[in-house]
Structure 1
Amino acid sequence: MAADAQDQLTRPTSAAPLLVPLADAAGARDTPQPLISHGCWYPSADPTGEHVAFICDRTGVPQLWTGPVHGGIDGGELHLLDSDPDPVTEVAWSPDGRWIAYTVAPGGGEHTRVLCVRPDGTGRRIVAGADSGSSAYLGCWTRDGSAVAVTVAEPPPAPPGAPDRPDAPGGDDRVEFGELPADWAERDGQATLLGGARRGVVGPEPNGAAPDGAVRDRLTAYLVDPYGAASPVLVAAESGAATLRVCDVSQDGRLALVRRGPRGRREAVVVRTADLGTGSVLRVADGDPWIGRFSPDGRTAWLRSDHEREFAALLAAGLDDDGRRRGLSVVAEREGCDLELLAFAEDGRTAALAWNVRGASEFQTLGLPPAGPAAPAPGGGATGTAPPHDVGLPHEVVTRIGRAGPGGLVLALSGSQRRPGVWWLPRAASPARTPWSSRDEDAVPPGRTPVRPAPLRPTARDGLVLGGWYYRAPGRGEGRPAPCVIHLHGGPEEQERPVFEPLYHELTGRGLDVFAPDVRGSSGYGRSFVDADLGRGRFAAIEDVADCVAHVVLSGRADPTRLAVMGRSYGGYLTLASLVWHPGLFRTGVAVCGMSDFATFFAGTEAWIAESAAHKYGHPVRDRELLRELSPMSRIDALRVPLLAVHGEHDTNVPPGESEQVVRAARERGHAAELLTLRDEGHEFRRADNRRLFRRTAADWMERHLTG
């Protein structure tokens, strides 16, 4: 990182982000009437802890709101701070209370930009990501609130003589640099060929070529003054980076804590801001990108890490003046459980810990040692720490933790029978629901019963114990086998959690059971389980789907003659793979934003996603034959049942061509196949009307083929 960043200083490849003023948002406008089924999430409190900025979809689109932590009748004091229709994805209130930073996805796609607005709705401006073709991601605020960290994704440089932009006169967004293998697929996105022939000039190497000869995207992180009085300050830069996020800056500004690396190989990097040199590097866990924080004196980095461990724990890394590690100890751990979320109270000496216990959350607060990493104590804690304080939760899963004034916290919670909401946790008290979060009785439409799932632990044919949750349709007694939809989550490092999922309630309301399993590759079961699908292990993950079906059939829950499979993203891939590897098992399938051919996926996806996915799925050149074997399109002749594919029109993560080609191939072979394209959506479906359309279309399809 240091050499690359120094090269950025001497050989700039693009301008630092510029502030772009926008029209003020009317923060005091009348609050729009809420949707009864709204959700609230991603809270960030002001310095007093009295007000919270958060994301809410009460208007049908996730937007930026503020509201009081307590008081207010039916959320009457709520303010909508940005009425634009672009979905909001992240929020951070500045420590000095003057600004709220947030990330939006223009047009609902995958490219994002960072904005700032004052709490009264004035001064709204784009901080980063305004340039065409670029994307920006939100990092932390400095401790004094004078600057916010942003990461800018810069497209690969064009070869000499090429247009500066794809949309410039004579430009072509499909231009290829250099020679490609004869069987390399035509691309429909911005991906690069990893490890192939040299295709452009990139990186700090003297001859301008990247180490593997590939054109790389460049990620650069800056500290930006929202007022625009000071120039942006470069913090880190990397070519070919999968991720780069500034998670914290020390109180004195000497050090920055940066998260980088592809899936399965995330790292915490301590960077010296004076010379951009690397102090220390330590492996950290996948999942939530907010990996830790410096102690008030900057001598300790508290990290959520699985360094040389099966499960993530809270580690303390002692640091010297240059940010180099001088010690490492375990502060908090739980046997067989991942530390999933880590946050800190305002004083920096109290940690808030959310543990993943078989899919549900258990929450604790913990006093930290006053200075430096402590030696491990018997029982796994560290000397100098007080015993952890357990906090009971009203719902199953914590999705976000934020500071809320002296000693307080705000929690985003979700449960199987309620929509996401924000809860206030005062010091030494129980969580209290904020008045503007949905009530439990508003979770599902009147007359429909919310379903609480039961945990299941299937065993794969090779003896590996899997997991998952079974949703039984209301009114069906035990011992009556039901039509059942196997729903496969994305990632594959995601985990099925007992949170409110409107799709499942739509399906169970139609009389269909749902089993949502965790096959190998899922998180929550340890590092070995996550890595069990690497390489040829992905064939075993496909077999896991059949083994999960066998479990629910043999246990008497599911009718073997009325089964369907469905999933999104990687789950969409696994759906297609299950249909062609196990053609006699299911009556139908619904693949949502799924990869149908790894060659076309790598050729069409975003470059940073390609960098990260190569570790998980295989390298598109070196592992070409393996990826061909694993691609559903290579076995499409085995398809025997109707297929519905669903895709967002602006998906640049898994391009829509992945669904288009498999639907076309199914039709050519005489099978019923349909494609639902959702307008103004990317890889995630964020708009309420599109989500409803998706749920109803999928449920109609399942009902027709399983009960018709």
Structure 2
Amino acid sequence: MAANARNQLTGTEEGSRSPRPATAAPSDPSAAPPFGVHAGEDVVDGVPWLPLDHGTAPPAAVAVAPAAAWSGASALAPPASTAPVPVPLPETAGTRDTPQPLRSHGCWYPSLDPSGRQVAFICDRGGVPQLWTGPIDGDEVHLLDSDPHPVKEVAWSPDGRWIAYTTAPGGGEHTRVLCVRPDGTGRRVLAGAEPGSSAYLGCWQHDGSAVAVTVAEPVLLPAGGDTEESPARAEPGLADPHTYTSARPPGWAVRDGRAVLLGGPRYGDAGPAAHLAEREGGTPREHDQESDQEAAGGLAAYLVDPTGAAAPALLAVERGAATLRVCDLSRDGRLALVRRGPRGRREALVVRTSDLRTTFALPVADGDPWIGRFSPDATTLWLRSDAAREFAALFAVRLAPGGEQQGITVTAEREGSGLELLTFGRDGSTAALAWNVRGATELEVTTVSGTAGVASVGVRRPVSLPHEVVTRMARAGGGPELVLALSGSQRRPGVWWLSEGTPRRTTWSSRDEDAVPPGRSPVRPVPLRPLARDGLPLSGWYYRAPGRAPGQPAPCVIHLHGGPEEQERPVFNPLYHELSGRGLDIFAPDVRGSSGHGRSFVDADLGTGRFAAIEDVADCAAHIVEAGLADPRRLAVMGRSYGGYLVMASLVWHPELFRTGVAACGMSDFATFYAGTEPWIAESAAHKYGHPEHDRDLLHSLSPMTRIDALRVPVLTVHGEHDTNVPLGESEQFVRAARERGLEAELLLLRNEGHDFLRADSRRIFRRTAADWIERHVAE
């Protein structure tokens, strides 16, 4: 592939004027305030209040099309100008001396260097998640990027020369991929700095010469079409011209106020086998220039040389606005393992890099995107998958030299619990398996062999853990080999390393006794097992505020997680600590749609099942009242993202049940949500909630705004100003409607935050404001 003539990160011609800095511009104090924010208004801890006056097929069915001859990848690759080009940045490494850490901070997402002695990780000791490095058995840590943009993922190159990482400029939803030398020099953007674009981190080549990145680009429409940018449509094959279709539903517009344009076929409902029949029996359509233009863009994955010495190499193209990540490359570079698709319909694909043809596909579980790895000789593919199963297990896929499947075997499984995390040693002979057992982690290490396509797993040896949940595992050759990110109900997230089979805390991670200020320990939750009115077993964790006599009903907050596929885990939550300190109990349930309880439970809220999920909230409230734990006169409901939606829905479906609600980043009307969200979010959301066109009546019925006249209680909403996942207008319209009905309603706007509240100051303002609100309306 030829090098780009135009630098897509800076918008300048190569060799012309100097590029503009590839960093987010600082906010202009003289600029006009955002909607509803006026001079002299009330401010809470520096943040203004915003007034409101204005189905899966079994493995046997997942056959793969033969690699038919065609004209080659160049004919259908995106235009050369979309390929990322590394752009050097000013060095921003922090002082080489260890800064004084916050008394309680979190460290997570470790990635090891080749020796296994140094770790790159994310830490918020400076108030925002940033990139750090440190030894596994020493004290000296270094800040490698002092920019205020939150860091989300980290990957140390196999040769040790580079550390790649993902940041979210301004705390928003768009991300970019950067890399830096381990000594803090050579920092540069690899992809995603162009306004409106995003980039996502993939795996490194095994020799460390290049890293895979996925770039989300706007799509060019054919002449005469709507001029507004829109996502490309989802197609069953990666870079496959014979499967492309330009058909649209009659009357469907790119963005008409109802929804962003979603994909053509609802791929994933029938699985790849349905499209295989079309490819084998149908006549390929003529490949013309117009369809090339319309199909360009979407998501494209490249191998990028951090130095810029070699041109980016195209690995895969996803014409739909869902997800695309390169998880592994075979050591000889022939094959790529790609994870793609909307949530609830994820797939693992094997892509042949010589012609970009998909040779194998298998449904895989949601959750951690790092789904598997090739054996050293690429004759076996190890996968974490729940294909045709309730719970994810370890699969071994036997591969032919061309990447075609020759057999599939389940090599490790557990009854009633799923494989959540999977990692391998650098030489491919060892593996670590983390199982989700009723919300907690059980860890095993083992040997694996996949030579010549003969797969076997050795004795699985359990590892005792000092805390409840493993959130990430990293392995390397040499040294202790396994490093864990651990979290628990009594600690902040920290990094631990295995020494002689025993996990040891790194000295730069917070101590357990520093999880909270002295004087009051975190509350250890107890499990509860409510029963839904239709007989479906639910679950959750109950946090009892200290100092309350047994048998004394307490004011209680029902906290609802997001997703909806997330799971409530027994980990330390500063919000729960804040609430319990005000004398409030917390019940954090998993209503239907949550993960960790099997595929059937995850899918139980699809379509009209969402009405039952709303009823689950009321059933959980009834359970804690009947158990004598909660006072029925002093109940509140709170949640973020999908949990925020459930808060709004619960308040209008059960208007007499709760005294108040706090909804953060929740959807109040599915029509306006689809009209304003990111295209790839809309693509994934259509499977979970319903298609904005085909299921319009259902979505209207499920929208809290449809029943807003039933609202009876005060409500607080919270939103990040840069949230493009669930747009700010979702909170604005709910608060405005509540005020129009004479109810107390407020909106807390968090500056420099997106859908996730990543900065320590923002999180502190959020939890203190929410606790104040609930205490005022619920507690005695």
1:241 CA drift (Å): 3.6
Asked whether 1:310 is paired with 2:310, we answer no
**Structure 2 residue identity aligned to 1:133:** G
**What is the SS of the residue equivalent to 2:449?**
coil
Q: Is residue 4–residue 204 contact of structure 1 (8 Å, CA) maintained in 2?
A: no
Asked whether 1:93 is paired with 2:156, we answer yes
1:94 CA drift (Å): 0.3
Instruction: Report the CA distance shift for 1:338/1:11 in structure 2 as closer, same or farther (over 3 A).
Output: closer
Cα distance in 1, alignment partners of residues 363 and 407 from structure 2 = 15
- Mean alpha-carbon deviation: is it higher for 33-42 or for 362-371? 362-371
1:215 CA drift (Å): 9.0
1:347 CA drift (Å): 1.6
Match of 1:121 among 175, 178, 184: 184
Q: Is residue 40–residue 437 contact of structure 1 (8 Å, CA) maintained in 2?
A: yes
Q: 1:232-251 alignment to 2 at 5 Å?
A: 232-251=312-331
1:193 CA drift (Å): 5.2
Asked whether 1:410 is paired with 2:483, we answer yes
| Residue 691 of structure 2: aligned partner | 619
Cα distance in 1, alignment partners of residues 552 and 77 from structure 2 = 71
| Residue 134 of structure 2: aligned partner | 67
Cα distance in 1, alignment partners of residues 77 and 626 from structure 2 = 66
| Residue 430 of structure 2: aligned partner | 350
Q: Deviations over 1:379-414 (max 9, x none)?
A: xxx7x4321010000000000000143261110000
Q: Is residue 377–residue 452 contact of structure 2 (8 Å, CA) maintained in 1?
A: no
Q: Is residue 217–residue 608 contact of structure 1 (8 Å, CA) maintained in 2?
A: no
**Structure 1 residue identity aligned to 2:491:** R
**What is the SS of the residue equivalent to 1:228?**
coil
Instruction: Report the CA distance shift for 1:179/1:323 in structure 2 as closer, same or farther (over 3 A).
Output: closer
| Residue 598 of structure 2: aligned partner | 526
| Residue 171 of structure 2: aligned partner | 108
Q: Deviations over 1:280-316 (max 9, x none)?
A: 0011110000000000110111000001111000000
1:160 CA drift (Å): 3.9
| Residue 726 of structure 2: aligned partner | 654
Cα distance in 1, alignment partners of residues 549 and 289 from structure 2 = 68
Q: Is residue 216–residue 240 contact of structure 1 (8 Å, CA) maintained in 2?
A: no
Q: Which ranges of structure 1 fall in alignment gaps of 5 or more residues?
A: 167-176, 197-202, 375-381
% of aligned pairs identical? 72
Q: Deviations over 1:170-191 (max 9, x none)?
A: xxxxxxx999679x8737xx94
| Residue 61 of structure 2: aligned partner | none
Q: Is residue 651–residue 711 contact of structure 2 (8 Å, CA) maintained in 1?
A: yes
Q: Deviations over 1:600-629 (max 9, x none)?
A: 101100001101110110000000000000
| Residue 104 of structure 2: aligned partner | 37
| Residue 186 of structure 1: aligned partner | 257
Cα distance in 1, alignment partners of residues 528 and 340 from structure 2 = 35
Cα distance in 1, alignment partners of residues 85 and 228 from structure 2 = 18
| Residue 351 of structure 2: aligned partner | 271
Q: Deviations over 1:506-545 (max 9, x none)?
A: 0001000000000000000000000000000000000000
Instruction: Report the CA distance shift for 1:631/1:28 in structure 2 as closer, same or farther (over 3 A).
Output: same
Q: Deviations over 1:27-70 (max 9, x none)?
A: 55333221111100000011001110000000000000000100
**What is the SS of the residue equivalent to 2:431?**
strand
| Residue 38 of structure 2: aligned partner | none
Asked whether 1:431 is paired with 2:511, we answer no
**What is the SS of the residue equivalent to 1:265?**
coil
1:163 CA drift (Å): 11
**What is the SS of the residue equivalent to 2:680?**
helix
| Residue 54 of structure 1: aligned partner | 121
Match of 2:194 among 117, 131, 134: 131
Cα distance in 2, alignment partners of residues 85 and 635 from structure 1 = 41
Cα distance in 1, alignment partners of residues 779 and 560 from structure 2 = 21
| Residue 278 of structure 2: aligned partner | none
1:214 CA drift (Å): 10
**What is the SS of the residue equivalent to 2:565?**
coil
Asked whether 1:680 is paired with 2:779, we answer no
Q: Deviations over 1:585-606 (max 9, x none)?
A: 0000000000000001011000
Cα distance in 2, alignment partners of residues 31 and 469 from structure 1 = 38
**Structure 1 residue identity aligned to 2:128:** V
Q: Is residue 346–residue 364 contact of structure 2 (8 Å, CA) maintained in 1?
A: yes
Cα distance in 2, alignment partners of residues 548 and 121 from structure 1 = 50
Asked whether 1:706 is paired with 2:768, we answer no
Instruction: Report the CA distance shift for 1:93/1:11 in structure 2 as closer, same or farther (over 3 A).
Output: closer
Cα distance in 2, alignment partners of residues 156 and 475 from structure 1 = 59
| Residue 365 of structure 1: aligned partner | 445
Match of 1:498 among 566, 570, 576: 570
**Structure 2 residue identity aligned to 1:192:** L
**Structure 2 residue identity aligned to 1:560:** P
Count of residues paired in the alignment: 676
1:11 CA drift (Å): 5.7
Instruction: Report the CA distance shift for 1:10/1:447 in structure 2 as closer, same or farther (over 3 A).
Output: closer
| Residue 147 of structure 1: aligned partner | 210
Instruction: Report the CA distance shift for 1:32/1:550 in structure 2 as closer, same or farther (over 3 A).
Output: same
**Structure 1 residue identity aligned to 2:689:** Y
Q: Is residue 222–residue 290 contact of structure 2 (8 Å, CA) maintained in 1?
A: no
Q: Deviations over 1:314-346 (max 9, x none)?
A: 000010011111011111100000100000112
**Structure 2 residue identity aligned to 1:96:** D
Q: 1:498-577 alignment to 2 at 5 Å?
A: 498-577=570-649
1:442 CA drift (Å): 0.6
Q: Is residue 150–residue 169 contact of structure 2 (8 Å, CA) maintained in 1?
A: yes
**What is the SS of the residue equivalent to 1:431?**
strand
Instruction: Report the CA distance shift for 1:397/1:550 in structure 2 as closer, same or farther (over 3 A).
Output: same
Instruction: Report the CA distance shift for 1:296/1:704 in structure 2 as closer, same or farther (over 3 A).
Output: same
**Structure 1 residue identity aligned to 2:123:** C
Instruction: Report the CA distance shift for 1:629/1:494 in structure 2 as closer, same or farther (over 3 A).
Output: same
1:416 CA drift (Å): 0.6
| Residue 633 of structure 1: aligned partner | 705
Instruction: Report the CA distance shift for 1:450/1:205 in structure 2 as closer, same or farther (over 3 A).
Output: farther
**What is the SS of the residue equivalent to 2:767?**
helix
Match of 2:495 among 405, 410, 422: 422
1:4 CA drift (Å): 12
**Structure 1 residue identity aligned to 2:165:** Y
1:435 CA drift (Å): 0.5
Cα distance in 2, alignment partners of residues 5 and 539 from structure 1 = 49
Q: 1:469-484 alignment to 2 at 5 Å?
A: 469-484=541-556
1:115 CA drift (Å): 0.2
1:448 CA drift (Å): 1.9
Q: Is residue 262–residue 683 contact of structure 2 (8 Å, CA) maintained in 1?
A: no
Cα distance in 2, alignment partners of residues 321 and 235 from structure 1 = 18
1:208 CA drift (Å): 7.9
Q: Is residue 192–residue 603 contact of structure 1 (8 Å, CA) maintained in 2?
A: no
**Structure 2 residue identity aligned to 1:152:** V
Q: Is residue 301–residue 315 contact of structure 2 (8 Å, CA) maintained in 1?
A: yes
**What is the SS of the residue equivalent to 1:81?**
strand
1:210 CA drift (Å): 8.4
Cα distance in 2, alignment partners of residues 4 and 536 from structure 1 = 46
Cα distance in 2, alignment partners of residues 95 and 484 from structure 1 = 49
**Structure 2 residue identity aligned to 1:416:** S
**What is the SS of the residue equivalent to 2:451?**
coil
**What is the SS of the residue equivalent to 1:634?**
helix
Q: Is residue 327–residue 373 contact of structure 1 (8 Å, CA) maintained in 2?
A: no
**Structure 2 residue identity aligned to 1:412:** A
Q: Deviations over 1:88-129 (max 9, x none)?
A: 000000000000000000011000000000000000000011
Q: 1:250-399 alignment to 2 at 5 Å?
A: 250-372=330-452, 384-399=456-471
1:682 CA drift (Å): 0.2
1:369 CA drift (Å): 2.5
1:477 CA drift (Å): 2.6
**Structure 2 residue identity aligned to 1:488:** L
Cα distance in 1, alignment partners of residues 729 and 250 from structure 2 = 23
Q: Is residue 8–residue 237 contact of structure 1 (8 Å, CA) maintained in 2?
A: no
1:151 CA drift (Å): 0.2
